[in-house]
Amino acid sequence: MTDIHHKKAEQAVRKAEQNRNKARQKLLQQRQKLAERRKKNREQSEKARGHTSDSMNRNPSAYSTVPTQKTNEQNAARNAHSTVPTAPRYSQISPSERLFGLRFYRAKQSTNSNDSK
């Protein structure tokens, strides 16, 4: 390969890494917005539940058998494994840490602390 080809290949790798990092940041931001919306929805449903009486509900099976999770960390701990390989096949770009389970939650927390600085 010529020198030009090497430069273009290196530029493509850098661009791919930048795009990957931007996508990860956007994903973490979306996760934060989702958590805020989930919190707001939970507050609204608890508020609405307080106004309705149980005697008005005629459905005897109107309850959930799934235990409720109050925080996103509890939800993250419940989904704590991934079948995605740690490094993409045939990729020349160094892989970043996979975010799932508690790692996703910790990454979100670290971006929140970096935003406040």
pLDDT band of residue 90 (cuts 50, 70, 90) is confident
The length of the chain, given as a count of residues:
117
Cα 2 to chain centroid, rounded: 42
74: pLDDT strictly greater than 70: no
Asked if 79 contacts 101 with a C-beta cutoff of 8 angstroms, the reply is: yes
- Residue among 99, 102, 104, 101 at smallest CA distance from 86: 99
The token pair that represents 106 in the structure block: 């910790």
Q: Band of the pLDDT at 49, cuts 50, 70, 90? A: confident
Check the CA dihedral 69-73-75-77 and report its sign. Answer: negative
What are the domain boundaries of the chain? 1-49
Start-to-end CA distance of the chain, whole Å, equals 45
